[in-house]
């Protein structure tokens, strides 16, 4: 769908992009990654002609982009940048409506689309449509930036470090959301990042660049298991096995776990599970509130007295998490299993260390 | 594809320089000198070719050379352009003085010769050219300064050599030399003295407003309002009460305090200089990074030491910027005060307006402008000097 | 800096209405001035009523400021575009140089060239008022963050669309500040214009100085001061409506 052929960009005496050729299929997420100055952002900006190539051609759907008027080209491509660039003098709704209005959509259609997009990125339209950028948090602004890029339903989306400007926790949530949205809308996405973990998590294929050249273009699994040269090998780092775990969602690894109500008497703990040492404690709504160690159980009394209270966000993972996060949580807390909760903090099940070990073993051989 | 220096840079036409040369060529058309039978009568405009054909040829050649240089690219063309432009300025000045003397010699002594539009526009066009050349040249600062200041220097040299004595303004001046010196001194005393007093009042007020939230609002409210009031109106509003005062207490008149004249002028000038000084003092103190003061306190410095060693050097350039603004503003305001009898260079302007004598008007207006420019340049240098090394540029 | 609320506008409108009504009421002027200056035979300048003087003054300022805006803002826009970029340094230099000129000198120099009356005054006001407007237009446009302009182009806006939809709205406040400064200076300079026969609120002051009549002076000075303060407040309100 997008084809770059021998694209080169030269500034004065610097060669920013050197004979770069790439093909991105329809509906594919291609992540451009590389060290600082490798030319990834320059390449991205040549696709929508914010920068003109010195030589080489770029084809979108078989059409040569240099033959299309730049404004027209860009109206049909979504563009999201790191600093988001929301217009401060326009409301959220007006921001999102920018491209549709440039395309002369009628007002009703625009309004419907704005509501649709806000829901897509997980924000309540009634609450957010009238807000102004200065009232938004970093994560909200980033999501609206994505909504704005998707407004006119372009087939292609270009993103330049779209999740870079927020804290790690928000970034993780935004990435999860991106995966979810992409499953729904199936755009052709070219995303630039310097964060390898992000690339591994989001990409269908990764294009690694160095000094303006394409070094390897493969699926994340292949790059991790068969780096093509020393540069890629060093770039992905020595924890390749761990990185691979971030490609695997925990959904298939969630086990049923035993739990007991916080108001229950102690003897129910025995009943909940006689072979386990630790049992999760939930409240009446089913939400995780803590755990109990059977070996330190007092005689009689209630669970409430013996419970070790925890904050769910410190020990639990969401159902959208990856094996890597689960493992990371386990190691951090010193447990061998980690509880899985839904978005209302209700206990769903757990993932155990043993299961992760067998998953790692599988991926080693693949 | 890649080369050491992109060729385009040297060969692109310098649009600013070309604009300058076009203006310069057009400036050869309107009258260069105006011959008036007396200082108040209307004059006859004399074109360049009526004065001297040779001059026309000379200027056409010079401007064309500049045009060609501006369009094509040669190595170091900016230097050549700059030299040519300065040459044009010098020749224009020399020619004006020479032609004026020649004309004057052939007419009655009370006739006046004034520079015309052609003369002024030529100088402007040459300025555009000098500016463009200075912008683009890569030569050393020495060359750049030579380019910028040669024309002006020659002007002053010629001025003092009496080259321009036949020109109307100089004729006017020569009839008023003593008075000119007197009014100039008066002008400087008025604006200088007022700003000094304004600074003495303004800095403490600025410090107070920076330290006290409650004082901030009223101080700025009053300062802002007074700044908005037109100068003539403020003078007027002060005259009535001052007149009443000087009638009620005749002793004041012994001290020269009366309704009109210097008194309302000085009071108004002080009021006008307050806002820039208060504003800048306030900003300079507010902009101080509290961490720096904290560090000072932590080191064991006393409040007075912190004030002297940290706050003052850091705040000084910004406060001096405020003083600069107040001074430049006051040069003009003092000129207006001549209307209420305060004297100063404005007296020439208003007298000239009253007599419909343009030369008298110019005799007042031009020195006022030069004075403002000099004060501005001087204060900018002072600000630059007092800016502690290591501080980024940019003030209030 | 906050956006002006409805009550700010209402208060301002009330003050302006009160001012206009007072100015229109010549008898009130006569009575008050007679009270303050019983010694004067004539208390208001016979040439025109206070209201006429005010309107003359407003006309001078309005005409010159309109021309200034019509020429100054496009000029400021042009030198920040690709086509005019070459001229940005010299325009910046000329405007900051010109701003150092005392306005009275500019007004005075207009007379030998254009004679007396309204024309040289309007021309001088226009020229002098150009400086703050051009400078602020340039500063305002330059202050728009680059990533916003990048986002605008990236979305598919043409250069003109980006200018009209993004750059100008975001620099509106600074540009309006420049216009406000220009107008206030013009109100002051127009006072001196009375000395070259342009009329306005300066003429009773000058007449009062010549004839030694304090009432005339107040007749001109007081409305001028109030006019300037009200105009400043009005324009400040307008300017601060563009805070985002």
What's the pLDDT tens digit per position in A333-348? Answer: 888 888 888 878 888 8
Residue B250: per-residue pLDDT: 78
Which of the two residues, C224 and B40, has the higher pLDDT score? C224
Residue B10: per-residue pLDDT: 54
What's the pLDDT tens digit per position in A166-175? Answer: 888 788 888 8
| Residue B237 near chain C (CB below 8 Å) | yes
Residue B56: per-residue pLDDT: 87
Residue B2 lies in a domain: no
| Residue A68 near chain C (CB below 8 Å) | no
Predicted TM-score (pTM) of the model is 0.83
What's the pLDDT tens digit per position in C57-101? Answer: 999 999 999 999 999 999 999 999 999 999 999 999 999 899 899
Return the residue in C40, C86, C195, C201 with the most chain B beta carbons within 10 A, the one to mutate for interface testing.
Answer: C86
**Residue that terminates a domain, selected from B137, B168, B199:** B168
* Average pLDDT for A127-154: 92
Same domain for B121 and B194, yes or no, is no
**Residue that terminates a domain, selected from B126, B147, B168:** B168
Residue B6: per-residue pLDDT: 45
Q: B1, A54: Cβ pair inside 8 Å?
A: yes
Chain C nearest-CA distance from A204, in A, is 24
Same domain for B291 and B332, yes or no, is yes
Interface of A with C in 75-94 (CB under 8 A): 75-77, 79, 81, 83-85, 87-89
Residue B32: per-residue pLDDT: 87
| Residue A165 near chain C (CB below 8 Å) | no
Residue B295 lies in a domain: yes
A-contacting chains (≥3 CB pairs under 8 Å): B, C
Residue B105 lies in a domain: yes
Which phi and psi (to 5°) does residue C42 adopt? Answer: -115, 135
Q: B358, C229: Cβ pair inside 8 Å?
A: no
Residue C65: per-residue pLDDT: 96
Same domain for B372 and B252, yes or no, is yes
Q: Which residues on chain B are in Cβ contact (under 8 Å) with A15?
A: 2
Using the Cα atoms of residue A355, residue A359, residue A361 and residue A362 in order, give the sign of their dihedral: positive
Same domain for B140 and B194, yes or no, is no
Tell me: pLDDT of A10 over 70.
yes
Q: Give me the total of CB pairs closer than 8 Å, taking one residue from chain B and one from chain C.
A: 131
Q: Which of B236, B349, B372 sits opposite C217 (nearest CB)?
A: B236
Q: Which residues on chain C are in Cβ contact (under 8 Å) with B349?
A: 104-105, 108
Residue C1: per-residue pLDDT: 63
Q: Give me the total of CB pairs closer than 8 Å, taking one residue from chain A and one from chain C.
A: 56
Residue B78 lies in a domain: yes
Residue A139: per-residue pLDDT: 87
What's the pLDDT tens digit per position in C120-145? Answer: 999 999 999 999 999 999 999 999 99
| Residue C166 near chain A (CB below 8 Å) | yes
CB B329 within 8 A of CB B273: yes
* Average pLDDT for A11-31: 92
Same domain for B215 and B136, yes or no, is no
* Average pLDDT for A146-160: 93
The count of other CB atoms within 10 Å of the CB of residue A235 is 18
Q: Which residues on chain C are in Cβ contact (under 8 Å) with A134?
A: 244
B378: domain range? 177-392
Same domain for B223 and B324, yes or no, is yes
What's the pLDDT tens digit per position in A192-225? Answer: 998 888 998 899 999 999 999 999 999 998 888 8
Distances in Å between the Cα of C226 and the Cα atoms of A208, B238, C85, C193, C233 are 69, 15, 41, 18, 11
Q: Distance from first CA to last CA of chain A, Å, rounded?
A: 30
Residue B350 lies in a domain: yes
Q: C154, A83: Cβ pair inside 8 Å?
A: no
Chain C nearest-CA distance from B175, in A, is 20
Residue B149 lies in a domain: yes
Complex confidence, ipTM: 0.90
Same domain for B260 and B372, yes or no, is yes
| Residue B4 near chain A (CB below 8 Å) | yes
Distances in Å between the Cα of B34 and the Cα atoms of B30, B44, B64, B192, B304 are 11, 5, 26, 37, 64
What's the pLDDT tens digit per position in C25-66? Answer: 888 888 888 888 887 778 788 888 889 999 999 999 999 999
Same domain for B190 and B153, yes or no, is no
Q: Quick one: pLDDT band at residue A235, thresholds 50, 70, 90?
A: confident
Tell me: pLDDT of A366 over 60.
no
Tell me: pLDDT of A25 over 90.
yes
Burial class of residue B59 (count of CB atoms within 10 Å of its CB; 0-12, 13-18, 19+): buried
Residue C47: per-residue pLDDT: 82
Q: C157, A76: Cβ pair inside 8 Å?
A: no
Q: Which residues on chain A are in Cβ contact (under 8 Å) with B7?
A: none
CB C189 within 8 A of CB C125: yes
Q: Rounded distance, CA A66 to CA A49, Å?
A: 8
Which of the two residues, C206 and B390, has the higher pLDDT score? C206
Same domain for B214 and B356, yes or no, is yes
Same domain for B372 and B255, yes or no, is yes
Residue B206: CATH number of its domain: 1.10.3720.10
Q: Which residues on chain A are in Cβ contact (under 8 Å) with C2?
A: none
Residue ranges of chain B with per-residue pLDDT less than 50? 1-8, 393-396
Residue in B with minimal Cα distance to A16: B2
* Average pLDDT for A180-199: 91
Q: Which of B15, B128, B340 sits opposite C209 (nearest CB)?
A: B340
Residue in C with minimal Cα distance to A159: C154
Same domain for B298 and B257, yes or no, is yes
Q: A85, C158: Cβ pair inside 8 Å?
A: no
Q: Rounded distance, CA B217 to CA B205, Å?
A: 12
Q: What is the number of domains present in chain B?
A: 2
**Residue that terminates a domain, selected from B111, B146, B168:** B168
| Residue A259 near chain C (CB below 8 Å) | no
Chain C nearest-CA distance from A76, in A, is 8
Q: Rounded distance, CA A228 to CA C21, Å?
A: 86
Residue B1 lies in a domain: no
What's the pLDDT tens digit per position in A237-275? Answer: 777 777 778 778 888 888 888 888 888 877 777 777 777
Q: B349, C220: Cβ pair inside 8 Å?
A: no
Residue A30: per-residue pLDDT: 96
Which domains, from first to last, does chain C contain? 6-240 (1.10.3720.10)
Residue B298 lies in a domain: yes
The residues facing A260 across adjacent strands are A281
Same domain for B351 and B296, yes or no, is yes
């Amino acid at each position: 769908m997008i084809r770059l052929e021998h694209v080169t960009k030269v500034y004065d005496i610097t060669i920013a992009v050197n004979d770069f050729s790439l093909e991105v299929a329809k509906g594919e997420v291609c992540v451009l990654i590389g060290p600082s100055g490798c030319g990834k952002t320059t390449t991205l900006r040549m696709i929508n002609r914010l920068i003109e190539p010195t030589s080489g051609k770029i084809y979108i759907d078989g059409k040569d982009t240099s033959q299309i008027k730049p404004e027209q080209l860009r109206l049909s491509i979504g563009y999201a940048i790191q600093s988001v660039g929301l217009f401060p003098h326009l409301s959220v709704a007006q921001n999102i409506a920018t491209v549709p209005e440039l395309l002369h959509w009628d007002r009703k259609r625009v309004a419907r689309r704005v509501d649709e997009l806000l829901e897509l990125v997980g924000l309540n339209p009634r609450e957010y449509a009238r807000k102004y950028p200065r009232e938004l948090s970093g994560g909200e602004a980033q999501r609206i930036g994505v909504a704005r890029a998707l407004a006119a339903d372009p087939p292609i989306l270009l993103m330049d470090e779209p999740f870079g400007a927020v804290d790690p926790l928000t970034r993780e949530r935004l990435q999860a959301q991106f995966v979810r949205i992409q499953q729904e809308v199936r755009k052709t996405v070219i995303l630039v990042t310097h964060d390898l973990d992000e690339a591994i998590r989001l990409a269908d294929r990764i294009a690694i660049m160095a000094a303006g050249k394409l070094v390897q273009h493969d699926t994340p699994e292949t790059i991790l298991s068969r780096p093509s040269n020393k540069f890629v090998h060093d770039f992905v780092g020595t924890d390749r096995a761990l990185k691979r775990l971030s490609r695997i969602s925990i959904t298939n690894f969630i086990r049923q776990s035993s739990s007991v109500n916080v108001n229950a008497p102690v003897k129910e703990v025995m009943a909940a599970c006689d072979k386990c040492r630790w049992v999760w404690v939930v409240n009446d709504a089913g939400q995780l509130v803590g755990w109990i160690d059977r070996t330190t159980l007092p005689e009689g009394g209630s669970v409430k007295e013996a419970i070790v209270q925890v904050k769910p966000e410190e020990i639990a993972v969401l159902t959208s998490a990856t094996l890597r996060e689960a493992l990371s949580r386990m190691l951090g807390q010193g447990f061998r299993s980690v509880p899985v909760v839904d978005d209302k903090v209700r206990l769903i099940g757990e993932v155990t260390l043993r299961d992760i070990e067998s998953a790692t073993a599988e991926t080693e051989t693949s | 594809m890649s080369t050491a220096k992109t060729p385009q840079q040297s060969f692109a036409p310098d649009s600013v320089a070309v604009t300058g040369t076009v203006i310069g060529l057009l400036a050869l058309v309107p009258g260069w000198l105006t011959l008036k039978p007396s200082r108040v009568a209307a004059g006859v405009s004399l074109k360049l070719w009526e004065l001297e054909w040779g001059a026309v040829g000379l200027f056409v050649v010079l401007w064309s050379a500049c045009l060609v240089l501006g369009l094509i690219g040669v190595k170091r063309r900016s230097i050549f352009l700059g030299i040519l432009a300065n040459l044009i300025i010098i020749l224009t000045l020399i020619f004006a003085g020479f032609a004026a003397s020649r004309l004057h010699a052939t007419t009655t002594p009370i006739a006046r010769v004034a520079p015309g539009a052609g003369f002024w526009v030529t100088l402007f066009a040459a300025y555009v050219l000098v500016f463009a050349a200075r912008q683009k040249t890569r030569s050393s600062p020495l060359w750049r300064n030579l380019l910028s200041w040669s024309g002006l220097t020659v002007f002053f040299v010629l001025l003092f050599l009496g080259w321009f004595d036949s020109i109307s303004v100089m004729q006017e001046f020569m009839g008023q030399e003593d008075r000119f010196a007197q009014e100039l001194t008066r002008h400087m005393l008025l604006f200088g003295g007022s700003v000094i007093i304004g600074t003495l009042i303004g800095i403490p007020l600025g410090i107070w407003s920076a330290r006290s939230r409650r004082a901030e609002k009223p101080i700025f409210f009053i300062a802002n309002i007074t700044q908005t009031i037109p100068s003539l109106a403020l003078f007027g509003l002060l005259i009535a009460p001052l007149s009443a005062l000087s009638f009620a207490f005749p002793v004041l008149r012994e001290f020269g305090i009366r309704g009109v004249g210097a008194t309302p002028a000085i009071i108004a000038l002080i009021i006008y200089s307050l806002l820039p000084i208060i504003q800048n003092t306030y900003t300079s103190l507010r902009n101080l990074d509290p961490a720096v003061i904290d560090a000072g306190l932590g080191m064991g410095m006393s409040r007075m030491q912190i004030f002297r060693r940290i706050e003052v050097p850091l705040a000084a350039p910004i406060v001096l910027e405020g003083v600069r603004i107040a001074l430049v503003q006051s040069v003009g305001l003092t000129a207006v005060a001549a209307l209420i009898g305060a004297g100063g260079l404005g007296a020439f302007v208003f007298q000239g307006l009253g007599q419909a004598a343009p030369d008298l008007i110019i005799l007042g207006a031009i020195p006022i402008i030069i004075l403002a420019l000099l004060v501005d340049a001087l204060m900018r240098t002072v600000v630059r000097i007092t800016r502690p090394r290591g501080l980024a540029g940019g003030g209030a | 800096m906050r956006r002006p609320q409805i009550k700010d506008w209402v208060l301002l409108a009330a003050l302006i209405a009160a001012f206009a009504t007072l100015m229109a009421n010549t008898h009130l002027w006569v009575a008050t001035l007679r009270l303050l200056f019983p010694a004067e035979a004539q208390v208001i300048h016979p040439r025109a009523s206070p209201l006429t003087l005010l309107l003359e003054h407003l006309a001078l300022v309005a005409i010159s400021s309109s021309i200034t805006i019509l020429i100054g803002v496009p000029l400021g826009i042009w030198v920040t575009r690709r086509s005019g970029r070459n001229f940005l340094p010299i325009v910046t230099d000329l405007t900051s140089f010109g701003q150092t000129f005392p306005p009275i000198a500019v007004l005075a120099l207009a007379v030998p060239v254009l004679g007396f009356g309204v024309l040289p005054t309007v021309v001088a006001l226009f020229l002098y008022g150009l400086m703050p407007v051009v400078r602020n237009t340039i500063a305002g446009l330059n202050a728009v963050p680059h990533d916003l302009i990048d986002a605008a182009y990236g979305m598919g806006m043409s250069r003109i669309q980006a200018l009209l939809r993004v750059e100008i709205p975001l620099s509106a406040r600074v540009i309006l500040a420049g216009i406000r400064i220009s107008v206030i200076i013009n109100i002051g300079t127009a006072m001196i214009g009375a000395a070259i026969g342009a009329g306005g609120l300066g003429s009773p002051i000058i007449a009062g100085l010549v004839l030694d009549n304090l009432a005339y002076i107040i007749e001109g000075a007081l409305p001028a001061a109030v006019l300037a303060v009200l105009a400043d407040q009005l324009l400040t309100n307008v300017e601060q409506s563009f805070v985002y």
